[in-house]
Amino acid sequence: MVWHNTLTLHRAKVLHGAAWLCVALAVVAVCGQAATAATEPTIIKVVGIENEYANVAQQIGGRYVSVSAIETNPNVDPHTFEASPKIVHQIAAAALVVVNGIGYDGWADKIIAAVPNPQRKVINVQHLLHLPDTTRNPHLWYDPKTMPAVARAVADDLAAMAPAHAAYFRANVLAFDASLQPWTTAIAAFKARYAGTPVAVTEPVGNYLLQAMGADIETPFSLQAAIMNGTDPSPQDVATQNALFRDHKIKIFVYNQQVTDPLTQSFLNLARKNGIPVVGVYETMPAPGYTYQSWMLAEVQALRNAVTTKTSTLSLLNGRH
């Protein structure tokens, strides 16, 4: 199923009509700034479309970068994101942009194309990982292999723009990789003891992490994709999902707490009614209070608590459970 085109349309109400005029105006206003940032990178302007990528870029660039993120609010449905003239300006002025790809943030590709700058570097994480357009799950940041590759790519691009600081950027990559060790250790420990844990989900948001931990995802992917793409799942898939709760066939319900509707709320209610612990996952890094590393570790700890003590962690914000 080539779903990513549908996802692109659903994920963002991309700029139309008069908004594209703003793009053209932004080109005139800021192209010179972008070129300056690329050729004289005392402080290099970086944009991470999703704040988890921005966070990693900041950790690698340190004092030599000014990093901004576009999608930042963990309490907002990212599917309804709308670009604005301010965002066009941010992207046009950036010397480095990190995008997820796989149609997840296709609106950003349109802006990048509309404000061309041959000196701007763009890291498309899909392409970095050599993933095809038909990849079913775009939530790449939950895969333990993703961010080490992103960190290295950021360091390489920054070093090309600021060769005098190349050693600094590469040292930050080593520090970043080392800081992931508690997370990868927690993943391995869960898999060693709880591999095969049956799990239900609303969307494939945390699936890469669940798979790395050895969990068995019982929810039909066709239902996950329908919820992710904003379409109606089949009655058969809904019945299958409901039976997972009623028949206690799962031990954890992983719930995308940024995207809620009557259907996902009904699943949440069934989980609570049947005493199945719920773990909330995010498409946008919960902030403030988290780095990418601490966020991922917190998700693994929440999943472990769900298995060992049947504790729900619906939200990582404000200590809510």
Tens-digit pLDDT profile for residues 162-217? 999 999 999 999 999 999 999 999 999 999 999 999 999 999 999 999 999 999 99
Is residue 319 left, alpha or beta, with left meaning phi > 0 and alpha meaning psi from -120 to 50?
A: left
Q: Which pTM value belongs to this model?
A: 0.87
Domain presence at residue 315: no
Q: State pLDDT tens for residues 45-63.
A: 999 999 999 999 999 999 9
254 and 125 co-located in one domain: no
For 269, the domain range is 182-309
For 133, counting Cβ atoms within 10 Å of its Cβ (0-12 exposed, 13-18 middle, 19+ buried), the class is exposed
CA 108 – CA 87 distance, rounded (Å): 9
Domain presence at residue 260: yes
Domain presence at residue 145: yes
Output the domain CATH number for residue 205: 3.40.50.1980
139 and 249 co-located in one domain: no
**Count of domains forming the chain:** 2
Domain presence at residue 190: yes
172 and 206 co-located in one domain: no
148 and 19 co-located in one domain: yes
C-beta of residue 148 within 8 angstroms of C-beta of residue 125: no
In this prediction, residue 79 has a pLDDT band, given cuts at 50, 70 and 90, of low
